[in-house]
Amino acid sequence: MSHPSDTLDENIYLLRTDPPTKDDADEKGNVLYFCPRFGWYSGYFIKPHMDGTTHWTYLPHRPPALPDPAVESDTHFNDWLKSFPTKFEDSVIALFRLGWNAGWKRARGN
């Protein structure tokens, strides 16, 4: 006869028989818990905060942060501005910047 834990997906563990340890947690000390009344939620590895929690598994790695669009725009603008052999006055650069920003937003669909 098979044991209920034998039919679990890979890396899903019964909380009462195989609780998580610090080594199982992410860098903030969290794991992914399962409570039948609520579903999956993250919580600190020492003790789930929802009564009735039955299982746990590893939290997936967080995806890398997306680049800040303003920083990306500034970088491209400054590279574009350096492509001109002439140095411009600040007032001219400000006008270029207005045009650049409008074009950048339009090109990005914002």
Give the predicted TM-score (pTM) of the model.
0.56
50 secondary structure, DSSP code: S
pLDDT, residue 107, reads 87
> Closest Cα to residue 32, out of 22, 24, 40?
40
Q: Over the stretch 19-60, which tens digit does the pLDDT of each residue have?
A: 999 999 999 999 999 999 999 999 999 999 999 999 999 998
Q: Residue 105: in which H helix or E strand, if any?
A: helix 90-108
DSSP 8-state symbol, 14: E
State yes or no: pLDDT of 110 exceeds 80. Answer: no
